[in-house]
Amino acid sequence: MPTHGELHVEVFLDSVFGENAYLVWTGRDAWVFDPSFPPQPQRILAAARTRDLAVGGVVITHGHADHIAGVGAIRDACPQAAIYAPRGELDMLIDAHANLSAEFGVPIVAPAADHPVAPGDTLRLGGLSFRALDVSGHSPGGLAYYCAAAGVVFTGDSLIPGSIGRTDFPGGSLARLLGNIRDHLLTLPGETVIYSGHGPASTIATERTENPFLNGEYDE
């Protein structure tokens, strides 16, 4: 289980879409990032109970169905958990057409967000601050969350190790996504650990040099 100073991170892989959800905590204060389909949220809740953590927030990087399917389960078990979601994607939590699940025949909705988050906003977990970064382009208003003190960034599906998020969904834009990654992620310190929506952990330095979409090998 990775530890970054005061911040602890546990990864939970969804077996349907290969989506990563994260239980993160400092002291007893905990958040869940992007919970997906069962049994992933149940496994997260069991881990939180085992560690005697108080889940105070569910933090959403973007509103596609595989990143919000478990929000309701977490909220039902932890009524005190506030839901933080991108300001530009609030409709995606409560509208199965907006989050694309209706088109797949399995409509998914989540509770409405308690706290809309805009780029530049700061969220606090215990004594740690997380800054919201604009990484829209995979989705209309996607955010990454960067904790400088811990040296980690949760990127959702914007920057994926060795790749980037697809941009052919409604509201997607390849040019906007690449611009946001270059302006808001690749400018972070090279040792920053990337926790993505899919795939293993990486670092900013690795993606700068080895990601073909970002190192000049890929022609827009």
pLDDT tens digit string along 91-101? 999 999 999 99
* 3-class DSSP state of 162: coil
Q: Give residue 42's pLDDT.
A: 97
- Does pLDDT of 197 surpass 90? yes
Q: Grade residue 105 by pLDDT with cuts at 50, 70 and 90.
A: confident
Q: What is the pLDDT of residue 201?
A: 98
Report residue 217's pLDDT band, with 50, 70 and 90 as the boundaries. Answer: low
Q: Which residue has the higher pLDDT, 203 or 16?
A: 203
What DSSP string describes 107-143? ----PPPSEEE-TT-EEEETTEEEEEEE-TTSSTT-E
Q: Give the model confidence (pLDDT) of 44-93 as tens digits.
A: 999 999 999 999 999 999 999 999 999 999 999 999 999 999 999 999 99
Of the candidates 147, 146, 144, 173, the residue with the CA atom closest to the CA atom of residue 158: 144
Q: How confident is the model at residue 219 (pLDDT cuts 50, 70, 90)?
A: low
Neighbours of 97 (CB within 10 A): 12
Structure tokens that stand for 2 in this block: 């990775």
Instruction: Say which CATH class 3-210 falls into.
Output: alpha beta
pTM: 0.96
For residue 88, the SS3 value is helix
Report the distance separating Cα 165 and Cα 154, nearest Å: 14
**pLDDT of amino acid 8:** 98
Domain spans of the chain, in order of start: 3-210
Q: How far apart are CA 131 and CA 86, in angstroms?
A: 12
The most distant pair of C-alpha atoms in the chain lies apart, rounded to whole Å, by 49
Going through 27-103 in order, the beta strands assigned E by DSSP cover 29-33, 54-59, 82-86
Q: Please report which confidence band the pLDDT of residue 218 belongs to, taking 50, 70 and 90 as the band edges.
A: low
pLDDT of residue 2: 87
Stretch 152-157: mean pLDDT:
98
* Mean pLDDT estimate for the chain: 95
% pLDDT > 90, the chain: 92
